[in-house]
Chain A
């Protein structure tokens, strides 16, 4: 078993050698990609049970997508999704849930990139009929490449099946000196972000968090907590966006496109805008597969007379679910609740401005520097404070 992380020799070797095998238009390209993907997946396995369960988990949607397709069977797809989410929760070890249900968690391991598998699998099942209709290639090789692509195996970004296949089929130009320099420049920047900036910010965040108990006054404790949250916010940004820079640039060297996942998120003026700039592929996924169907169901049913309230509830529930997805303990639930609250407040404020301000006044507001920077400071502070629940037991601390 080899630990797959961006600093491991194995990861760097695969990333460096892959362009030689993949930067071509050979008809064998997808098979070469599959061999590399399977090899990376196999070496990350810690036991035979993990391999068997992992293989079943990965393959099942490929064979079941067609079973749940068609006008008469599509309506039963919720059964498949319920089972998939339940298996995911079990494999991801949501201890509080399974302890309550008195179901023992028998597997002592977690499958690498498990939650990202789920996102990709749901996209595949949801799109299946339309992919067939459109003539997009659906073979086991393509499916496995999509699910196991070593570029996005660790932590996304979340690609869509259709985009992935069309990208694989795209003609690629030979690698030039400029491609190599541009790619390596971005990859090195990514490594600096992850191991220098994020490393320092992470160290400082942990130091301030560990020292929280040493303060006696409320104000000094609050100040120390804010400093912890501030450094933790930068840790998360540099770590995740640096990782994305690394995989995006290495994929480009192989002639593959991995979607941009960050767009200067800490310059967002509202929590809504933040989620359009941070972990963009996740935001788009939850918009398409959770928020929109949920809000539509609300509008067609209980909230037909009050769409605004329906939207707030749909947003709140969507981000709460997204929070729970991020991790298995109560801190992630609180994180999700705060994200939901932030989004609802930002959406309500926008709706208020739209209702009470003229178009011209709203446009002037958008361009106002004071409002812009006030919005950025408030959003950034709120996000840092809510991010403090990610990776730290803040709920335990507050108890």
Chain B
């Protein structure tokens, strides 16, 4: 599985919605359950899935899923 597919699984798990299909342009506006609670839950779940740590500012600067994938890939490499 590539990063996007793995990330999609995390999204589906956190938001409890198996129909979520991620694109690079996906933002919080596209997913009903994406609020301040689930946002932080999502970050922690992604950290666990990829065995990574994100800083406050890295998370703050993300504008969409595409940037999130790029950040994960950069950290993994």
User: Chain A residues in contact with chain B, CB under 8 A?
Assistant: 74, 126-127, 129-130, 287-289, 291-293, 295-296, 299-300, 304, 307-308, 311, 347, 351, 359
Contacts and interface: CB of A to CB of B under 8 A. Distances in A.
Given A288-B60, A296-B56, A307-B41, 5 more contacts: A126-B56, A292-B59, A296-B44, A300-B44, A307-B37
Contact of B57 (A126, A299, A304, A359): A126
B61 A292 contact: no
Contacts of A299: 40-41, 44
Given A130-B61, A300-B47, A359-B32, A295 B56 contact: no
B57 A130 contact: yes
Contact of A311 (B37, B57, B59, B60): B37
Interface string B25-53: 00000001000110011011001000000
A288 B56 contact: yes
A339 to B, nearest CB: 16
Contacts, number: 38
Nearest to B58: A130
A287 B36 CA distance: 9
Nearest to B41: A307
A292 B37 contact: no
Contacts of B44: 296, 299-300, 304
Chain B contact-residue range equals 10 to 19
Contact of B56 (A293, A300, A307, A351): A293
A22 to B, nearest CB: 29
A342 to B, nearest CB: 15
A181 B56 CA distance: 42
B60 to A, nearest CB: 5
Contact of B43 (A291, A296, A308): A296
A308 B38 CA distance: 10
Contacts of B59: 292
Given A300-B47, A359-B32, A295 B60 contact: no
Contacts of B37: 307-308, 311, 347, 351
18 contacts: A126-B56, A126-B57, A129-B57, A130-B57, A130-B58, A288-B56, A288-B60, A289-B56, A296-B43, A296-B56, A299-B41, A300-B47, A304-B44, A308-B37, A311-B36, A347-B37, A351-B37, A359-B32
Closest A-B pairs by Cβ, 9 of them: A299-B44, A295-B40, A293-B56, A311-B37, A288-B60, A296-B40, A126-B57, A130-B57, A307-B41
A51 B40 CA distance: 42
A347 B40 CA distance: 15
Nearest to B56: A293
Contacts of A307: 37, 41
Nearest to A129: B57
Contacts of B57: 126-127, 129-130
Nearest to B43: A296
Contacts of A351: 37
B61 to A, nearest CB: 7
Contacts of B32: 359
A289 B41 CA distance: 17
A65 B44 CA distance: 27
Contacts of A126: 56-57
Contacts of A289: 56
Task: Name, among B40, B43, B61, the residue most crowded by chain A CB atoms within 10 Å (CB to CB).
Answer: B40
B36 to A, nearest CB: 8
B76 to A, nearest CB: 16
A249 to B, nearest CB: 29
B28 to A, nearest CB: 13
Contacts of A74: 55
A119 to B, nearest CB: 15
Interface string B53-77: 0011111110000000000000000
Nearest to A354: B33
A349 to B, nearest CB: 13
A9 B70 CA distance: 52
Nearest to B60: A288
A126 B60 CA distance: 11
